[in-house]
Structure 1
């Protein structure tokens, strides 16, 4: 890429602080309304990410300010996961290009071989990253369960049950999730302390949000993390995994039914989840009646 461009005159930069979570959320809301016509991000998503002990927010983030208004930001979590946003009113001024360069420089400084970020397919951010040479790593779909429909129930194997995770289940739940996700996700294993901070430390978390499927011996064989979002209207399955030796037995579908049922019991009226092309799970969700609501791509730049 060419040399890093200059930011427009009058803008200032500084690392983000935890107290900036509301400003970042407002910025991302404005961008999502412009790009996809709805709001997907929750402030709790930002707060829980920033609560992870391994994430050095001061060293891995930058905010761009126009006076007292946050007009853009970027951060890098782990080796390669970037997030960025530019206020729609400030697009077309080279800010997004500056952030892309900043992320690559940061990635190289911490030893990353690649940095990538999710953007709505066909959005201004998608087009800009394509122009800058970022390739598509994978495609993601946000799926919703149409109002008035339900996922067909699946009977669990004999002796199995689904229940709220107890404190003593947390290590096993973390192992099931990480083992499953690392089958297709190329990244370092999430530290257990990060898992606990981001899940049980998430604003608004209640014990029922973390569901576990257990076998006859009480071992955790499946996990679902279901969140209440969209001002209490949506039950969102944030993570879903079944241990490899327990798959194709209806456990994942039973966890989905259980998760959405508990969310409805807590006042939600719609149900959502997301999946991506690395998992091969899109067909599963479509077969149980879920439909695509929005499409995202993860665009990345190789740094070596």
Structure 2
């Protein structure tokens, strides 16, 4: 079977989504990825599509697999289940590692679904080690909205506070080692997405100071893309209050579940479990020193 290779284009979002969604359905019985997430990845300000992406097309022209490399540090490789076992995963992984070496990176990391036993085994065989674990958490939605902490005011997203929201999120995530994103990159991955829900998103204020942010996206389930509380305002119940408000908004829209991802590096799993969320599934970040 002959395959053709090329760089990805902005118009490939739907076809790439189908590759990722087919894998998720096979592993979990449902697809949680969104087309707009793929489109946002293709629009990342720091990605040069010609140099940093590779699409593999099957003889009929359909996308059989793809990979991207972001700044030499992070990569993603996806192969449609129909085309597994043909060496495409190895080819795409070879390309991703070579791209990282070409830009002088000391390491490359990628996230693999823990249900992907073959992908995990491939990375281990190539010398990757475990860097971190991500958990997808869920909780049933209700209109319950417990008392807001004293002195805190909650409201929906305000576009005039966009740069402040970006700052709160980046400051909070940077404490746990996350790479800081520019406003443009952050916006592409959050508020510029077609699924962004301004009313279901929640901002928390102490007086006129923005101290907490929930960025919400809509789909088959209510999805929290980001949750952050400023360091000086933690342990006051602000995260719980923001989640309650966002959950109530999604419930009014007819959604049954609230979902969000958390990362082992944040130490937030216990907090979320205390707030009534439980683990649905997990992924692992694997890293190779080059």
Same fold (TM over 0.5): yes
210, 216, 229: which one pairs with 1:220?
Answer: 210
Q: CA RMSD in A?
A: 1.8
Q: Partners in 1 of 2:87 and 2:76 — Cα distance?
A: 17
Matches within 5 A, 1:1-304: 10-67=2-59, 68-123=61-116, 124-146=118-140, 153-158=146-151, 160-187=152-179, 189-216=180-207, 218-230=208-220, 234-303=221-290
- TM-score normalised per structure 2: 0.93
- Count of matched residue pairs: 288
> Is the CA contact 2:196–2:216 (under 8 Å) kept in the aligned structure 1?
no
**Separation in 2, partners of 1:287, 1:157:** 21
Cα deviations across residues 217-266 of structure 1 (Å, max 9, x unaligned)?
x1110000111122xxx111110000001101111111111111111222
* Conserved? CA contact 1:12–1:66, under 8 Å: yes
| Whole-angstrom distance in 2 between the partners of 1:152 and 1:285 | 16
Change (3 A) 1:154 1:112: farther
Alignment partner of 2:160: what SS?
helix
Could you list the per-position Cα deviations for residues 114-171 of structure 1 after superposition, in whole angstroms to 9, with x for gaps in the alignment?
A: 2111111142212221222211111111111046x6777253222x211122222111
Shift of 1:51: 2.6
Deviation of the 1:40 alpha carbon: 1.4
Structure 2 unaligned regions, length at least 5: none
Inter-CA distance 151–135: structure 2 relative to 1 (3 Å threshold): farther
Distance 1:185 1:97 in 2: 30
Identify if the C-alpha distance between structure 1 residues 282 and 302 changes in structure 2 by more than 3 Å, giving closer, same or farther: same
Structure 1 residue ranges (4+ consecutive) displaced by more than 3 angstroms after TM superposition: 149-152
Q: TM-score w.r.t. structure 1 length?
A: 0.89
**In structure 2, how many angstroms separate the alpha carbons of the residues matched to 1:184 and 1:157?**
27
**Secondary structure of the corresponding residue to residue 208 of structure 1:** coil
Q: For 1:241 and 1:152, how far apart are their aligned partners in 2?
A: 19
Q: Structure 1 residues 52, 208: closer, same or farther in 2, change over 3 A?
A: farther
Tell whether the 8 Å contact from 2:216 to 2:222 is kept in structure 1 after alignment.
yes
